[in-house]
Chain A
Amino acid sequence: MLYAKPRYLDAGEAALSVEFGDSVDPAINARVLALDAALRAAALAGVEETVPSYRALLVLYEPLTLSRETLVSTIEALVAMSAAALAPKARWRIPCCYEPPLAEDIGEAAAALGLSPQRLADVHARGDYRAYMYGFAPGWCYLGGLAEALNIPRRATPRGPTPPGAVLIGGGLTLIAAGSMPTGWRVIGRTPERLFALDREPPLLIEPGDAIRFEPIDPAGFAALEARAARGEVVARREALS
């Protein structure tokens, strides 16, 4: 639920959490990202870092430089100006192979959802997603916009590690995982793109708020793109949106 007014909550004396709602919801997340963009553009002295998440923007600041009152009044003004949802600046087309063994859990996930693996892949690849936030580990990008038909709970116990570039579903969201970690989400595909690669400039591709689509590829296409990605090439395609 979107709150009538944002809540300003102290996370210690040097961080302010600006909460726009209490759920994972595209309208709430759009408000978070709009404030994040506005606050970064304002370049307020004393603001050290902002961390957008599903429903809140965490603002790390130095209270000895910037008073809480000034920070809150600045944010209130920015929220009033950025009330309209922020349109995505870019759309990424992420190649994704939905075939086992790369999609190691797709059979199990499809059975649990009462779908065929092919149907699951089709529904996932047709989705229009938005990067809500990063979290957990470098380059782990959480996307909103998953079809309700693919809403599957997370496993009770994490399993893994996931392969790099795993595309996962769990808890009504989809996720592109840059590195290998144990997780309770299901691996339904894999992208040859490297979301986080220190040997490439830029190391991170997707900005929070960007639009995302997946493009199905077969295992041979995966192998070819993976080799190109390993040489430092960006194999996902970025389209600028006005």
Chain B
Amino acid sequence: MSAALRVLSAGPGVTVQDAGRQSYMRFGVTPAGPMDFGAFAAALQAAGEPQGAAVEVSLGGLELAAEHGEIGIAVAGGAFDVRLDGSLLPPSCALTLAPGARLSLRAGPSGAWAYVAPCGRFDLPLVLGSLATHTRARLGGFFGRGLEAGDRLALLGARAGPSAPMAIDAPWLAPPPGKIRVLLGPQADFFAPETIAAFLAAPWRLSPRSDRMAYRLEGPPLAHLSGHDIVSDGLTFGAIQVPGDGAPLVLMADRQPTGGYPKIAHVIGADLGALAQKRAGEVVRFAEASWEEAVTARRWRAELIGRGASLTPLSRREFSSEFLLSQNLISGAVSAQAPAQAAGQNDCD
């Protein structure tokens, strides 16, 4: 029997994702893929599977065990509480899971998504060329659904990882600058200049009704100059739509391929992961970027990711709960509503 990962427990919204389903938006198919591409890429690189797939872990958490052999695992993402048989590890780490050992991820001090990448490939069928899960359409990944206790993820070409847990060094995982940068438009002309100024000045609070489809923002309602309907057109990851109620929503990995509300702005590619890692209740502020700034930030980030992640022995690090806290001093508490971010609640048309 081939090596496999057994799911011991999984919160809602834990899914298998690859880089996303390309070329089918024209047929109404959502790309899906990881919410935080940078963290996803770090986990895959550390697992030695740069073109592979990972389990995306929501705030609902995940517990895994290995079956039929040792399996190397790389974990990267938000500051989750990661433990191997109860021993705390850094939130981004590589390890070997021996049969009988238990890896657990739980919501930690900050961050909303983490990625668990095995050294090996998931033995799952490609759907329209991709392993990405889109749960609303029951498409891809593990039978089109989130993982549940008891599920068995068989692996092909599984191999062990480092003999002792290592920390992953991936400079692009460093906490990003405070504000999320946006490019205005293409329908910024649906809003008065003072409305755009209010959009850029307001502290927005991420609504508990946020999920993989869209992050809803609570704050001062944004008034449209005349009407809130446009002729429906294509939507990218990071498009900020303003529907009739004036509460902006940022379209995320599981967005519909098309939509009919004006898009006041788009989050620049380099800052999508930072936004994705925000939790319900956290404050989001936007800053206007120029097109050149957006491309420069994109290039810088692509170069960092291109240089790759490296592994550092844990003994060389002062690794303790203080270390964990030092990774993020902003939000100490885990929201009781945390798993809402994982469940689907944004069906609309």
A184 near B298: Cβ-Cβ < 8 Å: no
Q: Interface range on chain A: under 10, 10 to 19, 20 to 34, or 35 or more?
A: 35 or more
Bound-state Cα–Cα, A182 to B238, Å: 25
Which one of A17-25, A74-82, A85-93 is at the interface? A17-25
Closest to B272 in A: A12
Contact B258 A9 (CB under 8 A): no
B234 at the interface (CB under 8 A from A): yes
Interface string of A37-54 (1 = CB under 8 A from B): 000000000001111111
A64 to nearest B CB, angstroms? Answer: 6
10 closest A-B pairs by CB: A58-B234, A9-B186, A12-B266, A51-B234, A134-B28, A135-B258, A13-B294, A53-B233, A56-B233, A138-B29
Q: B258 to A12, Cβ gap below 8 A? A: no
Cβ of A198 under 8 Å from chain B: yes
Question: Contact mask A125-155 → B, CB, 8 Å, 1/0?
Answer: 0000000011111111100000000000000
Which among A17, A36, A135, A140 is the interface contact of B186 at CB below 8 angstroms?
Answer: A17
Contact B349 A184 (CB under 8 A): yes
Choose one: B28, B232, B266; the contact of A137 (CB below 8 Å): B28
Q: Among the listed B24, B232, B258, B266, which residue makes an inter-chain contact with A11, where contact means beta carbons less than 8 Å apart?
A: B266
CB interface residues, A 187-226, toward B, < 8 Å:
196, 198, 203-204, 208
Contact between B28 and A13 (Cβ–Cβ < 8 Å)?
Answer: no
Q: Are B239 and A12 in contact (CB under 8 A)?
A: yes
Q: Are A10 and B258 interface neighbours, CB within 8 A? A: no
Contact (Cβ within 8 A) B349 A183: yes
Residue of B nearest to A206 (CB): B27
Q: Are B236 and A60 in contact (CB under 8 A)?
A: yes
- Among A10, A12, A48, A68, contact of B269 (Cβ-Cβ < 8 Å): A12
Q: Which residues of chain B from 8 to 39 have any CB-CB distance to chain A below 8 Å in the complex?
A: 22-30
Could you list some 12 contacts between A and B, CB below 8 A?
A10-B183, A10-B266, A13-B268, A13-B298, A15-B266, A17-B186, A19-B233, A51-B257, A58-B236, A63-B295, A136-B28, A136-B256
Any chain B CB within 8 A of the CB of A181? Answer: yes
Q: For residue A133, which residue of chain B has the nearest CB?
A: B258
Interface residues of chain A, those whose CB is within 8 Å of chain B, are 9-15, 17, 19, 22-24, 36, 48-56, 58, 60, 63-64, 68, 133-141, 158, 178-179, 181-184, 196, 198, 203-204, 208
B101 beta carbon closer than 8 Å to chain A: no
What size tier do the contact residues of chain B reach? 35 or more
A1 to B239, CA, bound (A): 25
On whether A14 and B298 interact (CB within 8 A), knowing A52-B26, A198-B127, the answer reads yes
**Cβ of B139 < 8 Å from any Cβ of A?**
yes
Kindly count the residue-residue contacts between A and B in the assembled complex, taking CB atoms under 8 Å apart. Answer: 135
- Known pairs A54-B231, A179-B137, A182-B349; list 20 more (Cβ under 8 Å): A11-B185, A11-B236, A12-B294, A13-B183, A13-B269, A15-B236, A17-B233, A19-B186, A23-B231, A50-B26, A51-B258, A58-B235, A64-B298, A136-B258, A138-B24, A138-B137, A140-B28, A184-B349, A196-B27, A198-B127
Q: How far is the CB of A17 from chain B (nearest CB, A)?
A: 5
> Would you give the 0/1 interface string for B294-327, flagging 1 where the beta carbon is closer than 8 Å to chain A?
1100110010000000000000000000000000
Q: Kindly state the separation between the CA atoms of A230 and B81 in the bound complex, as whole angstroms.
A: 47
Which listed residue, B25, B232, B235, B266, touches A49 by the CB 8 Å rule? B25
Q: Which residues of B contact A11 (CB under 8 A)?
A: 185-186, 234, 236, 239, 263, 266
B128 interfacial by beta-carbon distance below 8 Å: yes
Interface residues of B in 68-90 (CB under 8 A from A): none
A228-B160 Cα distance, complex, nearest whole Å? 48
Beta-carbon contacts of B255-289 to A below 8 Å, as 1s and 0s?
01110000100111100000000000000000000
Please, what's the 1-or-0 string for B118-158, where 1 marks a CB less than 8 Å from any CB in chain A?
00000000011000000011010000000000000000000
| A9: chain B residues within 8 A (beta carbon) | 185-186
> Which B residues lie within 8 Å of A181 (CB)?
347, 349
A4 to chain B, nearest CB (A): 18
* Chain B: minimal CB distance from A139 (Å): 6
CB distance from A28 to the nearest CB of B (A): 9
Bound Cα distance from A12 to B232, whole angstroms: 17
Q: Which of chain B's residues have a CB closer than 8 A to the CB of A64?
A: 295, 298-299, 302
Complex-state Cα separation, A22 to B230, whole angstroms: 8
CA distance A137 to B29 in the complex (A): 6
Please provide the chain B residues from 176 to 197 with a CB less than 8 Å away from any CB of chain A in the complex. Answer: 183, 185-186
Most A CB atoms within 10 A — which of B26, B127, B136, B266? B26
Is the CB–CB distance between B238 and A12 below 8 Å?
Answer: yes
Q: How far is the CB of A198 from chain B (nearest CB, A)?
A: 6
A12 CB contact (under 8 Å) in B127, B139, B233, B267: B267
Residues of B within 8 A of A179 (CB): 137
Inter-subunit contact A14/B26 (CB<8 Å): no
Q: Which residues of B sit under 8 angstroms from A136, Cβ to Cβ?
A: 28, 256-258, 349
* Listed residue (B185, B186, B232, B233) with the most chain A CB atoms within 10 angstroms of its CB: B233
For B25, the chain A residues whose CB sits under 8 A away are 49, 51
Query: Contact between A14 and B236 (Cβ–Cβ < 8 Å)?
Result: yes
> Given A12-B239, A51-B26 in contact, is the A135-B183 Cβ separation under 8 Å?
no
